[in-house]
Copies of this chain bind each other. A is one copy, B any other.
Amino acid sequence: MQLDKVVAYHKALADATRIKLLILLAGGERSGGELADKLGVTPATVTHHAAKLREASLINERRDKNTIYFTLNHYFIKNGAAAAADLIYRERAAEGEEDNMEENNKRLKESVIRNFFTADGRLKHVPVQLKKKLIVLQHLAEQLAKGKPYTEKEINEFIKRYHDDFATIRREFIMHQLMFRENDVYMLNPRELWTSWENLS
């Protein structure tokens, strides 16, 4: 991650209205109008802020009829934070030879997500390479709620936000043990059970 990105990331979070907006989204999906209401600003202002947050990859959006629904992009909210420190300490980290494994994995995850998702958060296609595929699948699965039962229809709808071929991806979720199915109900497996891509080569 280079300087421009780090600056853009911090610019995106350097505004009280935008932080409040993200806090609202932490409670779940919200429409543009809802956000305008609760923030006490006009819809135009929400559009403005959404654009900034989108540029920094902090939110995703989906459209349903005339309404646009926003959600958090958990990955970048959590990991963008460490990026500045990474950049600042880059040279020192090199000489200090810490265990770079964790570092490299974080970078790989970031780069896979950048490369396989479009700017508006949709999945371009499922990676062929297993390691990368797992990163993508897990990234998607992370957007689902822990312990919540989903119908097959709900899962399909969810996946369709990201990619048209929901059937394949749903099957991959099961195959790779991210979810399990029990009498027509789908549920996330606990993360500890997810296949760890960190050790694959």
Question: Which residues from chain A sit less than 8 Å from chain B, CB to CB?
Answer: 3-4, 6-7, 10-11, 13-16, 19-20, 22-23, 26-27, 72, 77-78, 81-82, 84-85, 87-92
Contact = CB atoms under 8 A, between A and B. Distances in A.
Copies of the protein in its oligomer? 2
Classify the secondary structure of A's interface with B. Answer: helix
Contacts of A88: 19, 22-23, 26, 72, 77
A88 B82 CA distance: 15
Nearest to A93: B26
A7 B16 contact: yes
Given A3-B19, A19-B87, 15 more contacts: A3-B20, A4-B16, A6-B13, A7-B15, A7-B19, A10-B10, A14-B14, A19-B88, A22-B88, A26-B88, A26-B91, A26-B92, A27-B91, A77-B88, A82-B82
A89 B27 CA distance: 8
A-B pairs, 10 with minimum CB distance:
A10-B14, A10-B13, A81-B81, A11-B14, A14-B14, A10-B10, A22-B88, A26-B88, A7-B16, A78-B85
Contacts of A14: 7, 10-11, 13-14
Contacts of A16: 3-4, 7
Contacts of A92: 26-27
Nearest to A72: B88
Nearest to A8: B14
A82 B84 contact: no
